[in-house]
Amino acid sequence: MQWYRFISVGKVQHVYYRKFVSQAMMRAGFNGYIRNLPDGTVESVVFIEDEAQELPEVLQILKEGSPMSEVEEVRYETMREVPEVEFDGFTIRY
């Protein structure tokens, strides 16, 4: 069980990427949040219980993105500190 931080790079802002990803993550049962970053990328913070099964699923959701997005790359890392996140869904932060 671990928190992961993902950075989605490409055409991911102003194309409904955050909404699409947050809905897909909620349907899949993940907890966390997604937000735009000032440099044009999008950050997603996700709690993953089973790395072998869930990490590929999260990466697939992030790489697919919304129909109008063009995801070039998704980078990720494990988080050392536990973020301030509610354990009842996947939210969009502004």
Question: pLDDT grade, residue 86 (50/70/90)?
Answer: low
**Catalytic one of 5, 18, 27, 93:** 18
Q: Say which amino acid occupies 51.
A: E
Domain with 76 in it? 2-93
Q: Is 18 a catalytic residue?
A: yes
CB 66 within 8 A of CB 20: yes
Beta bridge partners of 68: none
Q: What is the per-residue pLDDT across 35-85, written as a single tens digit (0 to 9) for each? A: 999 999 999 999 999 999 999 999 999 999 999 999 999 999 999 988 877
How many independent structural domains does the chain possess? 1
CB 55 within 8 A of CB 38: no
**Catalytic one of 5, 27, 36, 80:** 36
Q: For the sheet containing 70-78, what is the strand order?
A: 70-78, 2-11, 42-48, 32-36, 90-93
What global pTM score does this model have? 0.94
Q: Is 36 a catalytic residue?
A: yes
* Domain CATH code at residue 18: 3.30.70.100
